[in-house]
């Protein structure tokens, strides 16, 4: 029998056991089999440490989730206290204080009349639940034909089969088809600006939504999904008025507007929710990641009060026919409450807003200093740097250059400076930056210096 990994086990043995017994998520086989596969042992603030004691800057906040930083003791204490008192109970036909407290706090932070919180375990499940709610809500209101979904090109909404159908990334969808029918993808806002003398209604992306509604029939469409800032395809900040136009279209046609805030929520954009930043109240708001800062798995959907009540009061339904064993788990919701208290007490959203100009000025210097970087996009503590062949000549990357940069040049340069973040090939050649929200100016300087090193490696590879 193989010996279990432990703190006293050499890193090489832990790595070997991982390669034998762990099946990786979104990781190529050759990467998982590499001799230098990282084995991360602990975290502290914005930094991670491997089993050999090397320190790495976490430039991705885990996976866009460790908002309050690694290694805190207050959140584990809350988890221990909850586990000692009530380790498990459901929200099926009963309630428990941990879930009630977390739901109450989240509802108080959510915009408008988003008041009902349905807990699940992840962002994918949150999106899956929103799809199911939208369909069942319309059925309960006498419109069972409303089953179709509109979402955006290259948007990531999760990996479960329903959420994957909403996801607009062809490479993620292709291995698992055929997926749920009735999903139409429309252009995102990349490169769009409101035309002079016009409004957001004139944007090509908005016109495309109206065209899809006309083609499909408004009476058949259940919901429209969008992230306040779209992560995949590179931190796309929408033009002024875009979200108001989404709200207007959905109200006009009886379509539910779903804000996917799995990444944008809980301070990432400098507000509790991205919907608040863009001054819109969606009908449903999905969340996960930052709700617990990654200290426990939790996700959910926040539902506008009239919609929640409409489903529960309907003669045909009377209940949301959906649930999960772990949904609203006492320990996870206790962790969420502790995390929300930290975010509020330390004014983490305000901290992000205060450092946003400093972060962006640093990104400006990187773009100005490297001919391999075409631009940065983003908001708050969520950014993407897009690479190109040469900004001076306008030369673009060849497919071979893009592959080499993403799989070799950037990863090797990140290892040289002990930076962990994400080279991203979803629609372009990019580097994603999403540090913990507790990062101070010194941490941002460390991050920007490391990114400068990585971009210098790209410059050298391209000969610019």
Q: Which tens digit of pLDDT belongs to each residue from 50-75? A: 988 999 999 999 999 999 999 999 99
d(CA 372, CA 387): 5
User: What dihedral angle (degrees, nearest 10) is formed by the CA atoms of 363, 369, 371, 375?
Assistant: 20
Does residue 430 sit in helix, strand or coil? strand
CA 68, 73, 75, 79 dihedral sign is positive
pLDDT at 36: 85
- Residue 7 — pLDDT band, cuts 50, 70, 90? low
Please state, in angstroms and as integers, the Cα–Cα distance from residue 160 to each residue in 124, 125, 126, 345, following that order.
Answer: 6, 7, 10, 35
pLDDT tens, 143-201? 999 999 999 999 999 999 999 999 999 999 999 999 999 999 999 999 999 999 999 99
Give the total residue count for the chain: 464
- Rounded to 5 degrees, φ, ψ at 258 are -110, 120
The number of CA neighbours under 13 Å toward the Cβ of 276 is 18
Cβ–Cβ under 8 Å, residues 42 and 268: no
* Strands, sheet with 40-44, edge to edge from the N-terminal-most edge strand: 40-44, 47-50, 55-58, 419-420
Domain architecture of the chain: domains with CATH:
38-68+347-462 (3.90.1150.10), 74-345 (3.40.640.10)
Does residue 419 sit in helix, strand or coil? strand
Burial readout 174-186 (b: 16 or more C-beta within 10 A, e: otherwise): eeeeebeeebbbb
- Residue 8 — pLDDT band, cuts 50, 70, 90? low
pLDDT tens, 243-253? 999 999 999 99
d(CA 71, CA 136): 41
pLDDT tens, 371-396? 999 999 999 999 999 999 999 999 99
Mean pLDDT of 104-132: 98
- Residue 1 — pLDDT band, cuts 50, 70, 90? very low
- Residue 12 — pLDDT band, cuts 50, 70, 90? confident
Average pLDDT, the chain: 96
- Residue 141 — pLDDT band, cuts 50, 70, 90? very high
With pLDDT > 70 as the criterion, what percentage of the chain qualifies?
Answer: 98
Which of 150, 138, 169 is CA-nearest to residue 210?
A: 150
- Residue 321 — pLDDT band, cuts 50, 70, 90? very high
d(CA 278, CA 9): 50
């Amino acid at each position: 029998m193989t010996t279990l990994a432990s703190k006293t086990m050499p890193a090489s043995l832990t790595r070997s056991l991982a390669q034998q017994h762990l099946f990786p998520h979104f990781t190529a086989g050759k990467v998982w089999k590499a001799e230098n596969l990282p084995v991360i042992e602990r975290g502290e603030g914005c930094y991670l440490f491997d089993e050999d004691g090397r320190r790495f800057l976490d430039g991705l906040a885990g996976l866009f989730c460790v908002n309050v930083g690694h290694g805190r003791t207050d959140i584990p204490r809350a988890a221990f206290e909850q586990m000692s008192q009530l380790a498990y109970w459901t929200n099926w036909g009963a309630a428990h204080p941990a879930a009630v407290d977390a739901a109450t706090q989240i509802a108080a932070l959510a915009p408008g009349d988003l008041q009902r919180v349905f807990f699940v375990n992840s962002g994918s499940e949150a999106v899956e639940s929103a799809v199911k709610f939208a369909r069942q809500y319309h059925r309960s209101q006498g419109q069972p034909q409303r089953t179709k979904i509109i979402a955006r090109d290259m948007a990531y909404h999760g990996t479960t089969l329903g959420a994957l159908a909403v996801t607009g990334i062809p490479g993620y969808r292709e291995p698992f088809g055929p997926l749920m029918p009735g999903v139409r993808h429309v252009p995102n806002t990349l490169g769009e600006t409101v035309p002079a003398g016009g409004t957001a209604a004139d944007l090509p992306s908005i016109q495309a939504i109206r065209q899809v509604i006309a083609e499909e029939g408004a009476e058949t469409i259940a919901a429209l999904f969008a992230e306040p800032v779209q992560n995949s395809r590179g931190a796309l900040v929408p033009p002024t008025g875009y979200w108001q136009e989404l709200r207007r279209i959905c109200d006009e046609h009886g379509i539910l507007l779903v804000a996917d805030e799995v990444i944008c929520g809980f301070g990432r954009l400098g507000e509790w929710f991205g919907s608040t930043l863009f001054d819109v109240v969606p009908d449903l708001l999905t969340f996960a990641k930052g709700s617990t800062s990654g200290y426990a798995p939790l996700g959910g959907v926040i539902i506008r009060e009239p919609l929640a009540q409409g489903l529960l009061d309907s003669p045909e339904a009377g209940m949301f026919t959906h649930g999960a064993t772990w949904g609203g788990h006492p320990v996870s919701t206790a962790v969420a409450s502790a995390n929300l208290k930290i975010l509020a007490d330390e004014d983490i959203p305000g901290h992000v807003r205060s450092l946003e100009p400093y972060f962006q000025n640093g990104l400006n210097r990187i773009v100005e200093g490297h001919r391999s970087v075409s631009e940065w996009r983003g908001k708050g503590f969520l950014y993407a740097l897009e690479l190109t062949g040469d900004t001076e000549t306008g030369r673009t990357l060849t497919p071979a250059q893009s592959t080499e940069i993403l799989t070799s040049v950037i990863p090797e340069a990140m290892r040289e400076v002990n930076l962990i973040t994400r080279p991203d090939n979803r629609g372009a050649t990019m580097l994603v930056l999403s540090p913990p929200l507790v990062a101070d100016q010194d941490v941002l300087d460390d991050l920007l210096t490391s990114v400068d090193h990585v971009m210098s490696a790209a410059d050298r590879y391209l000969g610019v």
